[in-house]
A = this chain, B = another copy of it.
Amino acid sequence: MKIAVLGTGTVGQTLAGKLSASRHEVTIGTRDPKATLARNKPDNMGNPPFSVWKEQHPAVGLDTLSGASAKAELIVNATSGGGSIEALTEAGEQNLNGKVLIDVSNPLDFSRGFPPSLSVSNTDSLAEQIQRRFPQARVVKALNTMTASLMLEPDKLAAGQHTVLVSGNDADAKATVTGLLKSYGWSDIIDLGDITTARGTEMYLPLWVRMFGALGNPMINIKVVR
């Protein structure tokens, strides 16, 4: 499948690398590809600059947000939550219309330091904001409840015996995403309902952050026991 992964951070890199390794045709979208490649310093988490990762992943393309989105059949929003609406606007509404848009982002607000709060929550969610702004995109919230390296490699933790949650208004789009998740080993997938249920998975993040803090390890997830 032709997939655009929007965002050049750890989440974007991890998803693009894994999708590409399983022979999807992946292009990463970024505001300014030249500037992205020109960065030569580690990010503030100490990760090497994007260009180093890109050299190690020659099959992954790099294009503008709109260029990557225009040619994609499926789009992954892996931009930071605070910049997602702006990035998707730059991707171009016409390039999103009718397409499955997997939103893995979280509206984390670090402006008051750590732990982050949410910039939207309770009676609204980032996923709903995206769906309202791009009514013809088929937004599916998924995978935002775990660290990037588990998203497409659930078997890295407890032999995959944990849960991924899916929200969205479009049943066919959710079926596409569910199929994709299954192809990466997910067996416990819960369809929570329409896109408003993304409030639940986004509001789970503050708990995730605290569990990460208490357990000292990001390789955690929840198994919904029932």
Complex interface: stretch among A11-19, A76-84, A185-193: A185-193
A79 to B58, CA, bound (A): 59
Q: Chain A 186-226, CB within 8 Å of chain B: the 1/0 string? A: 00001111000101110110111111011101011111111
Whether B162 lies near A225 (C-beta < 8 A) is yes
Min distance, Cβ A111 to any Cβ of chain B, angstroms: 11
Min distance, Cβ A129 to any Cβ of chain B, angstroms: 16
Residue of B nearest to A203 (CB): B203
Complex interface: stretch among A92-100, A118-126, A130-138: A118-126
For residue A157, CB closer than 8 A to chain B, the reply is: yes
Indicate how many identical chains form the complex. Answer: 2
Q: How large is the interface on A (under 10, 10 to 19, 20 to 34, 35 or more residues)?
A: 35 or more
- Find the residue from A199, A210, A215 having the highest chain B CB count within 10 A: A210
B residues near A204, Cβ cutoff 8 Å: 203-204, 207
Are A214 and B199 CB-contacts (below 8 A) given A122-B118, A157-B225, A220-B224? Answer: no
For residue A117, CB closer than 8 A to chain B, the reply is: yes
For residue A158, CB closer than 8 A to chain B, the reply is: yes
Would you list the 9 A-B pairs with minimal beta carbon distance, nearest first?
A200-B207, A200-B210, A222-B222, A223-B223, A220-B226, A203-B203, A197-B210, A162-B225, A200-B206
A residues sitting closer than 8 Å to B (CB atoms) are: 112, 117-118, 121-123, 157-158, 161-162, 165, 190-193, 197, 199-201, 203-204, 206-211, 213-215, 217, 219-226
| 16 more CB-based (< 8 A) A-B contacts, given A122-B206, A200-B209, A203-B207 | A112-B123, A121-B121, A122-B122, A162-B223, A165-B211, A190-B211, A190-B214, A192-B210, A193-B214, A199-B210, A200-B206, A201-B207, A203-B206, A215-B224, A215-B226, A217-B226
